[in-house]
């Protein structure tokens, strides 16, 4: 794995831990029994993770053109989410179709249900 791929993998692991609903959406195992911290402290921790990751991605050399594109896409998406958090809208995100409350409910749709162990969470 290249350094950028390793960094991206570490980010997915860290983001899964900080937002278990996204982990479940993405199929990352081990988070089906947890909810994200939507308090101001939890949102600040998420923003800190994004800031650190943007800095790390910017400092990470790209192995080739494919990685240059991947690096640019990562920075754009991370900065976009960071801008949403910094604006304060993430703390006031409540609407009838797409908000943390709906994400909690939808998480159950993405959880595996094939085995008895799946149902235990």
The answer to whether 11 and 82 have CB atoms below 8 angstroms apart is no
Give me 3's structure tokens.
């350094």
Closest CA to 38 of 87, 94, 100, 89: 100
118 in helix, strand or coil? Answer: helix
Give me 8's structure tokens.
């991206």
Domain range for 109: 3-120
The whole-number pLDDT of residue 72 equals: 98
Running along the chain, 121 residues long, what does each successive block of 10 average in pLDDT?
97 97 92 91 97 98 96 98 93 72 73 81 70
| Count of structural domains, the chain | 1
The answer to whether 48 and 40 have CB atoms below 8 angstroms apart is no
């Amino acid at each position: 794995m290249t350094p950028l791929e390793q960094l991206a993998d570490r980010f997915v692991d860290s983001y899964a831990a900080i937002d278990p609903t996204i982990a479940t959406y993405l199929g990352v195992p081990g988070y089906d029994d947890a909810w994200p911290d939507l308090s101001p402290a939890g949102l600040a921790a998420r923003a800190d993770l994004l800031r650190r990751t943007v800095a790390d991605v910017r400092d990470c050399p790209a192995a080739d053109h494919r990685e240059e594109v991947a690096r640019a896409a990562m920075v754009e998406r991370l900065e976009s989410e960071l801008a949403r958090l910094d604006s304060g809208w993430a703390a006031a995100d409540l609407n009838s179709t797409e908000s943390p409350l709906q994400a909690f409910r939808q998480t159950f749709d993405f959880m595996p249900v094939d085995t008895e162990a799946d149902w235990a969470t």
